Structure 1
Amino acid sequence: MSPASSAPPPDRSRRGDGAGPPPDARRRRILGWRGLALGVLGQTTATIVLVGPSFLIPLLRDAGYSLTLAGTAAASTSFGMVLTLVAWGALADRRGERLVIAAGLLGAAAITGLGVVLSRAGMLAHPLSLICLLALAGAACASVNSATGRVVAGWFSRERRGLAMGIRQMSQPLGTGIAAVTVPAVAALWGITGFLVLAAVLAAVSGAACWAGVVDPPRPARAEVEDPDDLPTGAPSSVNPYRGDSFLLRIHAVSALLVIPQFTFMTYGLVWLMDVQRMEAHTAGLVVGVAQLVGAAGRIVMGGLSDRAPSRMFVLRIVALAAAVLTGAVAATSLGVMPVLGAVVLVLASAASVADNGLAFTSIAEAAGSRWSGKALGIQNTGQHLVSSGVGPVVGALVTAAGYPLALACVAGVPVVASLLVPRKDVERD
């Protein structure tokens, strides 16, 4: 790597179409941490909108939904995300992160606000209308996933990027934990309308805050990244990073597989505690909330560890194997009513199932380079949410046909396969 590659990249305008002098180190730190804080706020809000329907499953079952149909409704936000993730990422590459983050969150606020009106008018009683509305909300929230990852990758150096991305990624289990505690309570009082009001208010506030406070990170000018000698891999970041090696594709595959245990616990953890371990809904919601908070802390720890480890890939492989072992433990606990042990095992397994995301996101951003990271993160999320959209109905059908022990044993085998696909070495492009 030549000396030029270690210099800070020049600052750019909000639209990302010009070069300028680099910000001083202090200002860079301030903008980086401010962008990270607002990214956490935006991603947490988006997560509440996305996973909130999972905690409506008991309500939907009481309304006459089958477990499979209720799981489909819970997964509809993920399906909506699949349709727009790459497009949002490409827009962030071209127009900047601030615009994309704010547009998506404010769009989600408008959609869920419309949902409140429709719900009050009785127009969401049919499952298809509810599923379509939730899918549109998911499509809007997709903007946050790629763009906030770009903010972290752009403002933080390699030595702090894993920790920063771990903090950013903690917003997903944090949002899930908040949803686990608040959505069942809100739904018990006001039904689906209560959830939609909560989602609309949070998305509006977060979108306005991100528009006011996020600053797009600097990127290398095009002329600077055309020199192959400036790049550790010998390939300019303007060249398609998917050509020449399979690193990105393998990380996409690993992450897509690891989504299966993650969304299994996210979608059915509450129901599992109620049906198998005979917990009350409120107690089960608290357990799921604790699990997500532990998972949030785990992402930070794994991110910081990956900054110090010789390879992020080594840490990712260990996380995948831990997810396999702990998911198997949940399957074994499903054989009897053991509420205390079941709660502990579910917390650990849920935490392990979400610990990989920050590692994978950081590696994708580093391997794709500044001019491809938005699209690559969009592809990453598309694969994850395409798989996650099928977890609800498929696992629901498997539980219905074979029971929780066998269904969760099948899920436990997935991280084992993922661990075999993890690349051996890291890749980084400017």
Structure 2
Amino acid sequence: MPALTLPAQAPSQLPAHRWKVLAVGVAANAAFSAAAAGLPTTAIFMRAGYQLDNAQLGLALGLLGLGVALFELPWGLLTDRWGDRPVLLTGLGATAAALAWMSVFASPAHGVAPSLWLLALGLVLVGALGGSVNGASGRAVMAWFGEGERGLAMSIRQTAVPLGGGLGALLLPWLAARSGFGAVYGVLALMCGLAALSALCWLREPAHLANAPAERGAAATPLRDTRVWRAAVAIGVMCCPQFAVLTFATVFLHDFSHAGIGTLTGVMVAVQLGAMVARIASGRWTDRHGNRRGYLRGCAWLSFLLFAALGALAWAVSGSASTPAAVISVAVLLAAAGICASAWHGVAYTELATLAGASRAGTALGMANSCVYLGLFLTPLAIPHVAAVASWPMTWVLAGLCMLAALPFLTRPQKQPATERPGPANPGISCAATSETP
């Protein structure tokens, strides 16, 4: 059965309210990403403030991802059953409360570090509750935007991840250094509260989806659809190199190159801002050319080459890693690899949600994000041990190999006659049923 989509309409005929819904999705994802991607940029201060070694630091940074991985799929199922609005309001409100609790009870104060289990509990709670934003906001975008705009809309929504991470990279290390982690968690709680307020004001389900009959067949049961599972696993594996950059790039630059706080912040902000631009551009480009799957394979190969080059460069300068030329070269290549490893998200999530159908997009996105955040748990857990046993250069090469490992799960695009290829003049044609049929 075909996936449920909006009627084939020109963008000018679609409801203008869809842009407010997209703004809610951006705000929700940015607020949670400021915690998920922003907290790792405070790794140096967290290691000192909580008196952790690198293995404990990796565990702490990974626990937030574990919380998301465990509860992302239940949130997706609840989203498809209850709708976007109640799930997003519940999740954001509860996440704000968990962060406020951490600000009071799980923050170092007066030189005294709280127990590791308190930090662990808080991060798992934030992940478990904050994971609600992914499926709910993605389902809302799929419901309000037609096929001809979905790649762009989902990519804009996905820019919220580097946007929130960039804001976190700019603000959180400074807050951690000046005011401590009580202020860090307090600001993150405020951001989640404001995102919940935007959802309360603007988010609702469109009439065509609320009144549509339940889908049947494979499109209605993504948990039984092997195409959806393949896409979800591919997304999860391809995220591991990105998480390697987000969680341990600052530790790598600090310990390997002896880089200062300015360089650390500059690299992380460059990765997040570059990813934002790349995601929007890739979404728009694939909407016009109907080549999502080919684009995803190209990103995987390019990311592998960049991470392999980073490993080779780190090995070559290992004897003089702290010289200005070496620091700049490593920082630039690290930023480029991080941007490329983040550029494809909106395109991949659009393809996944198209396969599942708009009314079941919450479940499909929950499946993918369970894989993604399992990677966020395992990646920082593994990196300290890999770096200790095999060196930092080999760590980055292995990160690149993850991109190649995802290729068997990505469906190869099939070439069709030019007259059958989707273009901007055919907004109602689904990529899942034309030039990229499985």
Place the TM-score, normalised by the shorter chain, in its bin: 0.7 to 0.9
Give, as a single letter, the amino acid of the residue that structure 1 aligns with 2:156. I
* 1:137 paired residue number: 126
Give, as a single letter, the amino acid of the residue that structure 1 aligns with 2:178. L
* 2:359 paired residue number: 371
TM superposition shift of 1:134: 1.1
Alpha carbons 1:68, 1:396 under 8 Å: kept: yes
Structure 2 runs not aligned, ≥5 long: 414-430
Cα distance between partner residues in 1 of 2:313 and 2:31: 33
Tell me which of 194, 209, 214 is aligned to 1:219.
209
What are the within-5 Å matches in structure 2 for residues 102-181 of structure 1?
A: 102-119=89-106, 125-181=114-170
* 1:17 paired residue number: none
Corresponding position: 1:267 with 2:272: no
Alpha carbons 1:54, 1:71 under 8 Å: kept: no
* 1:284 paired residue number: 264
Cα distance between partner residues in 1 of 2:39 and 2:273: 19
Relative to structure 1, the CA distance from residue 36 to residue 223 in structure 2 (aligned partners, 3 Å threshold; closer, same or farther) is closer
What are the within-5 Å matches in structure 2 for residues 309-388 of structure 1?
A: 309-335=289-315, 336=317, 337=321, 338-388=326-376
TM superposition shift of 1:396: 1.6
3-state SS of paired residue (1:355)? coil
TM superposition shift of 1:70: 0.6
* 2:412 paired residue number: 424
- TM-score normalised according to structure 1 size: 0.88
Deviation string for 1:362-390 (max 9, x for gaps)? 01110001332111110110011112201
TM superposition shift of 1:277: 2.5
Relative to structure 1, the CA distance from residue 60 to residue 225 in structure 2 (aligned partners, 3 Å threshold; closer, same or farther) is closer
Alpha carbons 2:300, 2:403 under 8 Å: kept: yes
- TM-score normalised according to structure 2 size: 0.86
Relative to structure 1, the CA distance from residue 316 to residue 121 in structure 2 (aligned partners, 3 Å threshold; closer, same or farther) is closer
TM superposition shift of 1:36: 0.6
Give, as a single letter, the amino acid of the residue that structure 2 aligns with 1:184. P
* 2:418 paired residue number: none
Cα distance between partner residues in 2 of 1:148 and 1:49: 17
Cα distance between partner residues in 2 of 1:93 and 1:224: 11
* 2:423 paired residue number: none
What are the within-5 Å matches in structure 2 for residues 376-415 of structure 1?
A: 376-415=364-403
TM superposition shift of 1:61: 2.4
Structure 1 runs not aligned, ≥5 long: 10-21, 227-234
Give, as a single letter, the amino acid of the residue that structure 1 aligns with 2:72. L
3-state SS of paired residue (2:358)? coil
Give, as a single letter, the amino acid of the residue that structure 1 aligns with 2:152. L
Percent sequence identity is 27
Cα distance between partner residues in 1 of 2:55 and 2:408: 31
Cα distance between partner residues in 1 of 2:160 and 2:27: 7
* 1:35 paired residue number: 21
3-state SS of paired residue (2:52)? coil
Alpha carbons 2:93, 2:196 under 8 Å: kept: yes
TM superposition shift of 1:51: 2.3
Tell me which of 80, 92, 103 is aligned to 1:93.
80
* 1:84 paired residue number: 71
Relative to structure 1, the CA distance from residue 286 to residue 29 in structure 2 (aligned partners, 3 Å threshold; closer, same or farther) is farther
Alpha carbons 1:163, 1:303 under 8 Å: kept: yes
Deviation string for 1:69-103 (max 9, x for gaps)? 11111121111111211111111111111121121
What are the within-5 Å matches in structure 2 for residues 64-79 of structure 1?
A: 64-79=51-66
Cα distance between partner residues in 1 of 2:313 and 2:176: 29
Cα distance between partner residues in 2 of 1:366 and 1:142: 21
Deviation string for 1:262-321 (max 9, x for gaps)? 100000111222222221123311221111100111111111111122331111100111
Give, as a single letter, the amino acid of the residue that structure 2 aligns with 1:367. L
Cα distance between partner residues in 2 of 1:8 and 1:387: 36
Cα distance between partner residues in 2 of 1:39 and 1:223: 25
Matched residue count: 405
Cα distance between partner residues in 2 of 1:149 and 1:75: 24
Cα distance between partner residues in 2 of 1:109 and 1:405: 38
Give, as a single letter, the amino acid of the residue that structure 2 aligns with 1:376. A
3-state SS of paired residue (2:412)? coil
Alpha carbons 2:43, 2:250 under 8 Å: kept: no
Cα distance between partner residues in 1 of 2:98 and 2:386: 33
Give, as a single letter, the amino acid of the residue that structure 1 aligns with 2:37. V
Cα distance between partner residues in 2 of 1:341 and 1:148: 38
Cα distance between partner residues in 2 of 1:135 and 1:127: 12
Cα distance between partner residues in 2 of 1:165 and 1:422: 19
Relative to structure 1, the CA distance from residue 120 to residue 161 in structure 2 (aligned partners, 3 Å threshold; closer, same or farther) is closer
Cα distance between partner residues in 1 of 2:349 and 2:300: 15
Alpha carbons 1:52, 1:195 under 8 Å: kept: no
Relative to structure 1, the CA distance from residue 121 to residue 68 in structure 2 (aligned partners, 3 Å threshold; closer, same or farther) is closer
Relative to structure 1, the CA distance from residue 225 to residue 326 in structure 2 (aligned partners, 3 Å threshold; closer, same or farther) is same
